[in-house]
Structure 1
Amino acid sequence: MPLDTSVKQAAVDLPFIRVPDLPQWPVLSPAEQERLKQDIKTMLRRQNAVLVAHYYTDGALQDLAEETGGCVADSLEMARFGTEHPATTLVVAGVRFMGETSKILNNEKRVLMPDLAATCSLDEGCPAGLFSAYCDEHPDYTVVVYANTSAEVKARSDWVVTSGIALPIIRHLARSGEKVLWAPDRHLGQYVQKQTGAEMIYWPGSCIVHERFRAEALAEMRSRHPQAAVLVHPESPEEVVALADVVGSTTALIQAVVTLPNPEFIVATDAGIMHKMQQLAPGKVLIEAPTLGEGATCQSCARCPWMGMNSLQNLAEVLKTGKNEIVVSADLARKAAIPIRRMLDFARDMRK
């Protein structure tokens, strides 16, 4: 009997998500910024701390992480880095689920974040209670959740995945004849299902940044830049993904800018990624994908407001005060670590 490869969306009422305005940080003079960076470097050394920053954070934070022996990466590499680094304090510049993941895997370490209110629309749109009830309704499905989820949701899952490793893991499960309950991003779920042929049901969440890219405006922009390659993160709507030359995780899109011969790239993901792209490929022209179209209120909204809550100013403050510590109970960390370590082990075996 052939597999049912349709993707069925959960019929649930998602909670209202309050989206903050992008923070407007005070502009620092070059001298002020350098003094602040030196203060942070000193505090990191004294506290045996290391800074881990996501590609979507401000470029100054990314630079500081690398200058101090930390890490700038996607969420999979951030998780792996924290487990392998000897520092006793991890300072995570990103959004809350990234800090929680670091704490889950390193419960004995202190994990700090510049702002604990820096969350994620995917995380907020998948409350643990609602999600657990949905899983209970489908006990014969293997539960696979995206990293952009709370510790409680991870603890309810069988596998945790990032966009960089979702395809090989779902292919593995499909070949084993397992049916997949996917959460929380419906666009990534659709993309994964089409690529793997897995039998899937999925949660109806989405990322507020990637949801706003518009196919019609992207096609028009591409016509004006015929030499450009279109790079799309798979959290984007299906019709946007269909226009891509490269679909992939943040790391895959960065690699595409470095390796492809195109002189220009239209980038359909959070614009924070362009900092690393420009560093690695300084001769390439990077263009933000448009969000013009029905339902959009700005030409390019490609900025996560929660990622924007990280700054040099509040990073220095958290190191001075020790506030904004991530706390995950030992029991919850133990449960949530199982599906995360399953992903990390799978990734390690792939590298071998």
Structure 2
Amino acid sequence: MSAIQTVDNLDYAFPPKPKPLTDEQKAEYKARIKQLLQDKNAVLVAHYYTDPEIQALAEETGGCVADSLEMARFGRDHDAKTLIVAGVRFMGETAKILTPEKTVLMPTLKAECSLDLGCPPDKFAEFCDQYPDRTVVVYANTSAAVKARADWVVTSSMALELVEHLDSQGEKIVWGPDRHLGGYIQKQTGADMVMWQGACVVHDEFKAKALRDMKKLHPEAAILVHPESPQNIVDMADAVGSTSQLIKASQSLPNDTFIVATDRGIFYKMQQLQPNKTFLEAPTAGNGATCRSCAHCPWMAMNGLVAIAEALEHGGEQHEIHVDPQLAKEAMIPLDRMLAFKK
């Protein structure tokens, strides 16, 4: 069975990139941020897709660089009273849901996610209501309100295993919001799934013909693909997986060169762990295609040094994450199920 739901005519207005800083300015802001983290009893957690200098700063100051779930869990378990989340807004919400007693700040609350924007809670609830006999499984890249409507929340690292488990129990599934990840899971498991038709603006742009052409130029390269990518890209992969799984693949595979179909922010960690290997961006343009995000999330790029310093100095409505307590309580139910399943 198949069914789809699309939010019509979504055309995302990408934010401007942060103004470039000189090396001297960068050094000044890094020093200020390090002092503010101490003064505010705060810790910086950064996603793999943020810019390399932000990931490095998180590591230098005792924070962490990870995927969205590990960011939230690190913040929950850390002694700091304030978390500053360098990522996109749903990541800040997840951190707040897991640690309601802490202050959760973001460099900017305008850092969005196309999967979140493309899955409005009211429309998704209406879609789910059409299938009352199905289990609702949503990707972590969603708002607190969408999570609250779900039975399960999943990350890309455990979505396949969870759906396989539910399918073995005879459960039929409503999946949202990423159509490519959902299609990949359905193909792997054979599960009965109806799909919300969302997509990531970064992964949706990878081009199969251009990737084949690149592979011809680098026949020795292994292709690493995030399953938010189109099926014809996934079909060419030597390894398919979440950010953390792709990082592990870059360590375990014998190849010296990798073509990577995910956000290029991940190269920081890959190169850190494998400095003698070569990592190439999978192509996002060619044959008349127009690259918009060019393998880097424009909202992730908003997490600059200036914005981090401002968040720590001023906090307030422009930076602090708030989640309605009742909504957080409802969203925590499927999040708890996910955490228990991963154990």
Same fold (TM over 0.5): yes
| Other-structure match for 1:3 | none
Which residue of the partner structure matches residue 185 of structure 2? 192
Shift of 1:27: 2.2
Task: Give the 3 Å change call, closer, same or farther, for CA 79–295 of structure 1 in structure 2.
Answer: farther
| Structure-1 separation of matches of 2:132 and 2:41 | 44
Amino acid at match of 1:169: L
Whether 1:230 and 2:223 are equivalent positions in the alignment is: yes
User: Which consecutive aligned stretches of 4+ in structure 1 deviate over 3 angstroms post-superposition?
Assistant: 11-15
Match of 2:212 in 1: 219
User: SS of the residue aligned with 1:345?
Assistant: helix
The AA in structure 1 aligned to 2:126 is: A
Q: More displaced, 285-294 or 170-179?
A: 285-294
Q: Is the 8 A contact 1:290 1:299 kept in 2?
A: no
* 1:19 corresponding residue in structure 2: 13
Question: 2:280 aligned with 1:311, yes or no?
Answer: no
Mark the runs of 5 or more structure 1 residues left unpaired by the alignment.
1-5
| Cα distance in 1, alignment partners of residues 293 and 143 from structure 2 | 28
* Preserved CA contact (<8 Å) 2:285 2:291: yes
Shift of 1:261: 1.3
Q: Give the aligned partner of residue 51 of structure 1.
A: 44
- Report Cα offsets for 1:73-114 as digits up to 9, x if no partner: 011211221221121111000000000000111111110000
**CA distance, structure 1, for counterparts of residue 44 and residue 94 of structure 2:** 15
CA distance in 2, matches of 1:246, 1:76: 21
1:39-61 deviations in Å (ceiling 9; x for gaps): 11111111111111000001111
Post-superposition shift, 1:22?
4.7
Query: In angstroms, what is the RMSD of aligned CA positions?
Result: 1.4
Pairing of 1:114-125 with structure 2 (within 5 A): 114-125=107-118
Partner in structure 1 of residue 328 of structure 2: 333
Instruction: Give CA deviations for 1:184-212 in whole Å, capped at 9, x if unaligned.
Output: 00000000111112110010010011000
Q: Distance in 1 between matches of 2:9 and 2:155?
A: 23
1:72 shift after superposition: 0.2
The equivalent position to 1:256 in structure 2, one of 249, 270, 275, is 249
Cα gap change, 1:133/1:247 in structure 2, threshold over 3 Å: closer, same or farther?
same
Fraction of identical pairs, as percent: 58
Question: How big is each residue's C-alpha offset from its partner over 1:305-350, in whole Å with a ceiling of 9 and x where there is no partner?
Answer: 00011101110011010131000011111001111111111112xx
Note closer, same or farther for the CA distance 1:296–1:259 as it changes in structure 2 (3 Å cut).
same
Return the alpha-carbon distance in structure 1 between the equivalents of residues 315 and 288 of structure 2. 42
CA distance, structure 2, for counterparts of residue 297 and residue 13 of structure 1: 22
Cα pair 1:14 1:126 within 8 Å, conserved: no
Distance 1:236 1:59 in 2: 23
Alignment check: 8 A CA contact 1:274 1:286 kept: yes
Which deviates more, 80-89 or 164-173? Answer: 80-89
Q: Which amino acid aligns with 1:234?
A: P
CA separation of 1:115 and 1:87: change in aligned 2, threshold 3 A:
same
Q: Quote the residue 2:195 is aligned against.
A: 202
Q: Give the Cα–Cα distance (whole angstroms) in 1 for the partners of residues 303 and 25 of structure 2.
A: 17
Structure 1 residues 22 and 246: CA distance shift in structure 2, 3 A = farther
Partners of 2:11 and 2:40 in 1: CA distance: 36
Residues 275-318 of structure 1: CA deviation (Å, up to 9, x unaligned) = 11111100001110001245621398101000011101110011
Q: Which moved further from structure 2: 316-325 or 78-87?
A: 78-87
Separation in structure 1 between the aligned mates of residue 75 and residue 178 of structure 2, nearest angstrom? 25
CA distance in structure 1 between the partners assigned to 2:228 and 2:157 by the alignment: 12
Other-structure match for 1:67? 60
What residue is the counterpart of 1:77 in the other structure?
A: 70
Q: Cα distance, 1:10 vs. partner? A: 2.1
Matched position secondary structure for 2:136: strand
Aligned AA (1:65):
A
Is the CA contact 1:292–1:300 (under 8 Å) kept in the aligned structure 2? no
Residues in 1 aligned to 2:221 and 2:20: alpha-carbon distance in whole angstroms: 35
CA distance in 1, matches of 2:286, 2:17: 25
Superposed CA deviations along residues 211-264 of structure 1, whole A, max 9, x for unmatched, are: 000111101100110110000000000001000000000011111112211010
Tell me by how many angstroms 1:169 deviates: 0.8
Instruction: Tell whether the 8 Å contact from 2:226 to 2:243 is kept in structure 1 after alignment.
Output: yes
- Alpha-carbon distance in structure 2 between the residues aligned to 1:327 and 1:45: 23
Question: 3-state DSSP class of the match of 2:216?
Answer: helix
> 1:22–1:268: structure 2 CA closer, same or farther, 3 Å change rule?
farther
Cα pair distance change 1:299/1:308, threshold 3 Å? closer
Task: Give the TM-score, by structure 2 length.
Answer: 0.96
Given that 1:233 and 1:249 are in contact with CA atoms closer than 8 Å, whether structure 2 keeps it comes out as yes
CA offsets, 1:109-166, max 9 Å, x none? 1100001000000000000000001111110010000011001000000000010110
Residue 273 (structure 2) aligned to one of 250, 275, 280: 280
Residue 297 of structure 1 is aligned with which of 285, 290, 293? 290
What is the SS of the residue equivalent to 1:327?
coil
Structure 1 length-normalised TM: 0.94
